[in-house]
Structure 1
Amino acid sequence: MNLRPPTTVMKAARLGAFHQSRLSFMRQLLRRLKAEDWQFQCSLWTLDSQGVGRAVYTASGPQRSYSLVAFAHDLDPALRSDRVIATAWDATFALFDGIPDAADLDRLEANVPKQEAGRISSSELCMARANRSVRLFEHVVQALAEGRQPQREFIDEVGYLMRTTAVYGSGKFGAADRESIAERAELSAPFQAEMLTVFLIRAFTLDLVEHLARARAPRQAVPLTPQLRRCFGIGNSTGLGMAPFLLNHPVLLNNWVRARETALQRVRAVRQPSSGERRMFTEFLARAQAGIGHWHSEHELQHGRILQLQGDLIRLEQHLASGILQQDSPWDALYRWAENTLSLEAQECLVSLLLEPYGHLVDELGERMQADEQLSFGIDGGMPLSRLRQILAEHYAWVAAIDFSSANSRALFWYVSEEKLEPRIGQRFAEPGEELEQPLAVARDIAQLQAALQPCAGSQTVAGFLLQHPQHRHSVRRVQLAPAFPYADIQDNLIDQTLLPIDLLRCKLSFFGATHFDPRSDRWVRITLFQNAPFPHELGQVAADDWSYPSLDCQEHRRECLVE
């Protein structure tokens, strides 16, 4: 059984249909926290009756502790914004490496609420901020203050009480560099510090609404029921800033996708699943159908995708009735049927569902998803151009299908805004700034490299070529990576007028473990993180990795709540 080829997988439209899976970083984190018996405590809570003040949540593992330092603010509603240009937020956060003392808290309070305008230190791993959901936050506080639970359908519609607008790490604004923590077992997988930050922010947010309800009505207020509490995730608004990451980290992208493709290959190779594995798949399909049935989006494209996915999952369920799961190699047969029958969205949802019964086959692949990209940064100057041409022919044949003489094929350019140092997209023939273009037009640059190579002798070396044509260094480096890292390139023209940047955002967010994709344009999207997950204080009593799709019991509870 071969891996799916990059020509199939690495198209933007398919990457933009990826769903969370067992290999998503949030799920890797909670499995580790559970297996290693991490302990959690809220060691400081000085919020007043208006919800303004400090809180500290500490997670302690076998070797180290990490502390979320939270600052809750009294934000004028007129200042509440998802835009990156915002300067004030309902809450701001830092993930401290260890347990902060009073001096650390004072230093952080002087800087963290300012976000980009402040500075943190190498003692901090992440900095973040979040705003309340205008629609849901007050509804939940008031309901609890009146001694009742909030309306379930309202929770389903929104899904979170706070929405982060940035979670910064990896050296940004003075935080610790990734290299300084990458060797720690608990942080070696990608984005574990960021995922831990969001996991603790979720706990703080739910504690905050219950605190405000008690402050409003000390004798009457009630807490959320545990089952309803888990229905709240953390929202996130993500724009173009995330998209270039996949292009600037080709080895990391390869490792993420290759791990997922290897997992799929292993499951498709199973010849005779146990009855328990077949039951588990069927159950998770039902859970996925129930969960996706509550996805909402006002974006025309995504609304259509959701409806198509819902219909495709019904077709998948009906196909199971044909007895396909009773034959040999049923997972391979099911995938091949889906590939010929269902939409990309449903095909990739099926890929995630196929992994669910097989943690024992796929979970260890998470250890392969990190990358030391410095090891692959060097250029082999001694490589003859004949070998470089061979790699181009084997791995970049897809570029020849793009007509760069067409204005539409060159319509966009990527640049970094001066104001916020964030990636942006400009219209090449209608807007100024083309001279600021970032080297993210991979297909065009490969085509230009191929043209520059035409008059050169095959015996000439890469070093000699680059001495004459230094502008092609970044493309040559990428080409030389291709044989070892075949999933490193998105095989589409990323400066075409028809580009949907949300496909790139969706790909990265799926590896985080995001759900409820709700694009607000083709350039930014809202999603939900950790919805239905256990809270820190519950990890010792419940399964760490049975939450990514709402349980059928939870669905029944939802129906009971609606009836009541």
Structure 2
Amino acid sequence: MNLRPPAIVMKAARLGAFHQSRLSFMRQLLRRLKAENWQFQRTLWTLDDQGVGRAVYTATGPERSYSLVAFAHDLDPALRSDRVIATAWDATFALFDGIPDAADLDRLEANVPRQEAGRISSRELCMARANRSVRLFEQVIQALAAGRQPDPQCIDDVGYLMRTTAVYGSGKFGAADRESIAGRAELAAPFQAEMLTVYLIRAFTLDLVEHLALARAPQHAVPLAPALRRRVGIGNSTGLGMAPFLLNHPVLLNNWVRARETALQRVRAVRQPSSSERRAFVEFLARARAGIGHWHSEHALQHGRILQLTDDLARLEQQLQGGLLHRDAPWDALYRWAQAQLSLEAQECLVSLLLEPYGHLVDELGATMQADEQHSFCIDGSMSLRQLRQILGEHYAWVKAIDFSSAGSRALFWYVSEEKLEPRLGQRYAEPGQELEQPLAVARDIAQLQAALEPCADGQSVAGFLLEHPQHRHSVRRVQLAPAFPYADIQDNLIDQALLPIDLLRCKLSFFGATHFDPRSDRWVRITLFQNAPFPHELDQVAADDWSYPSLDCQEHRRECLAQ
């Protein structure tokens, strides 16, 4: 059985329907923390009754320790904002490489609360900030201070008490470069330092809420019930800054998608599932359906997709009632049926569900999702233009379907803002600045490369061509990657007026493991991370990887709480 071809997978609309899966980076992290018996300590807590002060959480593994350094602030609610241009936050954080001493904490306190205006060092792996949920934070404190549990319906509907607005790593603002830590086993998989940072921020947030409730009512306050506590994740607001990552890291994108497609291929090839595998799939499908009931979005397009997904998963459940799972190669048959009958949202949800019973087949693929991008950066100048044309014909035929003579097909341009050094999209015919355009219009640039090649002889070398046409270097490099990395390109026009940047955001966030994807416009989105996951102190007591869909017991517990 072959992998799904890039022509199917690498369309923006399908990438924008991806869901979290066993290969998502959060799940890889928790499986490792559990398997290696990592130990966690809150080594410092100096917050006052208003929740202002310092805290340090240290995670210790087989070879080294990492510490989240948290600074909690007394923020005027009027200053609370999701926007990247904000200059003050409820809490700011750094992930320290090792265990900080007093001098480290003083240095970090002088810089981390300032975020972009400060500077950190190579001893820090990440820097982050977060704001309290206006809807839920105070409500939970009031309930706990009164000696009762908060409304589980509100917990489920919002999903988080704090929402990060940035988690920076990989050399930003002085932090350690990716290359300096990529050789560490625990950080080799993509974004493990960032995921650990968010995981520890979640622990800090819940401790902060319970601390404030206790300070408000020492005689009456109660902690959050463990089952309800786990249903609180960390929110995140993400905008256009994330979108170009997939275009600037083609080999990494290829490796992420190829791992997922290989996992799907392996499961579809299973001829006779065991009874436990069939039961697991049916249970995860039921859990997914229950979870969708708490996925809300006011964005018209996403709201419609959620409604369609609800109907499609009900149809999927009905399809199982005819005994399909007891036939030969049922997973392949189920996928083929879904491909013909269901929406993209449901098809890609099914891909994730099919992987759930098969950790023994797919989890090892997480080790293939990293990339040494320097190794693939060099251009092969000795390649003939005949070979280059052959690659273009085989891997970029999709570009010919785009009519770049129309204004709408060239309507947008990507640039980097001067104020925040963040990627932005401009309207080519209505806004200034297109001379600052970034080389992210892959399809247009490939079309221009093809046009420039037309008068050239097949026997000419790539080196000779680029001496005369250096403006095509970035496109030639991308084309030469295609045979080895077929999933490296998003096969759509990314400067078309009809582009939905949220599709690119959704793709990347699904690999993080995000849930409750909620676009606030076509250019930024809110998500939830680590909802239902065990906390650090619970990892040795519960399964590390049975939390990405709400348990059916969780739904029953919510009904019991509401009935009390």
Using structure 2 for the length normalisation, give the TM-score: 1.00
SS state of the match for residue 130, structure 1? strand
Report the counterpart of residue 508 of structure 1 in structure 2: 508
Cα displacement string for residues 42-97 of structure 1 (whole angstroms, at most 9, x for unaligned residues): 00000000000000000000000000000000001111000000000000000000
Runs of 4+ aligned structure 1 residues displaced above 6 Å come to none
- Partner residue, 2:173: 173
1:100: which partner in 2?
100
Distance 2:324 2:460 in 1: 56
CA–CA distance in structure 1, aligned partners of residues 461 and 539 of structure 2: 57
1:66 match: secondary structure: strand
Query: Does residue 1:329 correspond to 2:329, yes or no?
Result: yes
For residue 319 of structure 1, report the CA deviation from its aligned partner.
0.3
2:507 pairs with 1:499: no
Please name the residue that 1:190 is paired with.
190
* Aligned-residue offset at 1:162: 0.2
Following TM superposition, by how much is the alpha carbon of 1:249 offset from its aligned partner in structure 2, in angstroms?
0.0
**3-state SS, counterpart of residue 380 of structure 2:** coil
Q: CA deviation at 1:562?
A: 2.4
Q: State the alpha-carbon separation in 1 of the partners of residues 207 and 14 from structure 2.
A: 39
Deviation string, structure 1 residues 147-181 (Cα, Å, up to 9, x no partner): 00001111122110000000000000000000000
The residue type equivalent to 2:222 in the other structure is V
CA distance in 2, matches of 1:138, 1:361: 44
Cα shift readout 1:416-443 (whole Å, capped 9, x = no counterpart): 0000000000000011000000000000
Take 1:340 and 1:559, find their aligned partners in 2: how far apart are those partners? 37
The 3-state SS of whatever aligns with 1:528 is: strand
Following superposition, the deviation at residue 523 of structure 1 comes to 0.2
- Partners of 1:497 and 1:322 in 2: CA distance: 45
Aligned amino acid, residue 371 of structure 2: A
Partner of residue 490, structure 2: 490
How many residues were matched structurally?
Answer: 564
Secondary structure in 2 matching 1:317: helix
- Whether 1:347 and 2:347 are equivalent positions in the alignment is yes
Partner of 1:320: 320
Aligned-partner SS, 1:361 = helix
| Whole-Å separation in 1 of the counterparts to 2:285 and 2:213 | 38
Q: Distance in 2 between matches of 1:351 and 1:560?
A: 33
Deviations 1:456-475 (A, max 9, x none): 00000000000000000000
Specify the alignment match of 1:275 in structure 2: 275
2:142 aligns to what? 142
The residue type equivalent to 1:108 in the other structure is L
SS across alignment from 2:280: helix
CA RMSD of the aligned region, Å? Answer: 0.4
Matched, 1:262 2:262: yes
Counterpart of 1:4 in structure 2 is 4
- What SS does structure 2 have at the residue aligned with 1:234? strand
Report what 2:297 is aligned to.
Answer: 297
Give the secondary-structure state (helix, strand or coil) at the position aligned to 1:148: coil
- Within-5 A mapping of 1:154-553: 154-553=154-553
Per the TM alignment, residue 293 of structure 1 is displaced from its structure 2 partner at its CA by: 1.2
For residues 322 and 157 of structure 2, what CA distance do their matches in structure 1 show?
35
Say whether 1:61 aligns with 2:75: no
SS at 2:110's partner residue? helix
In 2, distance between residues paired with 1:440 and 1:245?
10
- Give 1:560 shift: 1.6
Instruction: Name the SS for the 1:92 alignment partner.
Output: strand
Task: Please name the residue that 1:557 is paired with.
Answer: 557
Measured in 2, the distance between the counterparts of 1:296 and 1:450 equals: 44
1:410 partner amino acid? R
Amino acid of the structure 2 residue aligned with 1:341:
Q
Structure-2 residue corresponding to 1:130: 130
| Alpha-carbon distance in 1 for matches of 2:351, 2:399 | 27
Q: Write the distance in 2 (CA, Å) between the matches of 1:98 and 1:468.
A: 51
> Aligned AA for 1:397?
A
Counterpart-to-counterpart distance in 2, 1:546 and 1:153? 21
TM-aligned CA deviation for residue 563 of structure 1: 2.5
- What is the percent sequence identity of the aligned residues? 88
Give 1:28's aligned amino acid. Answer: Q
Aligned letter for 2:69?
V
Distance 2:555 2:9 in 1: 33
Moved more, 552-561 or 379-388: 552-561
| Structure 1 residue 551: Cα displacement | 0.6
Please tell me the residue identity of whatever aligns with 2:302.
Answer: Q
SS in 1 for 2:59: strand
For 2:495 and 2:299, how far apart are their aligned partners in 1?
A: 23
Which residues of 2 match residues 15-34 of structure 1 at below 5 A?
A: 15-34=15-34
2:312 is aligned with what amino acid? D
TM-score normalised to structure 1 length: 1.00
Unpaired runs of 5+ residues, structure 1, are: none
Task: State the match for 1:47 in structure 2.
Answer: 47
In the aligned structure 1, how far is the partner of 2:465 from the partner of 2:180?
36
Q: CA deviation at 1:322?
A: 1.2
Structure 1 residue 502: Cα displacement: 0.1
Cα offset, 1:393, TM superposition: 0.2
Give the C-alpha shift of residue 202 in structure 1: 0.1
Given residue 438 of structure 1, which amino acid in structure 2 is its aligned partner? Q
Structure-2 separation of matches of 1:114 and 1:86 = 10
| Shift of residue 552, structure 1, vs aligned partner | 0.7
Task: List runs of 5+ in structure 2 lacking aligned partners.
Answer: none
**SS of match in other structure, 1:495:** coil
Separation of aligned partners in 2, 1:243 and 1:562: 40
CA distance in 2, matches of 1:180, 1:348: 35
Cα distance in 2, alignment partners of residues 456 and 343 from structure 1: 45
Structure 2 counterpart SS, 1:357: coil
Q: Which amino acid aligns with 1:508?
A: K
Partner SS state of residue 550, structure 1: coil
CA distance in structure 1 between the partners assigned to 2:199 and 2:248 by the alignment: 27
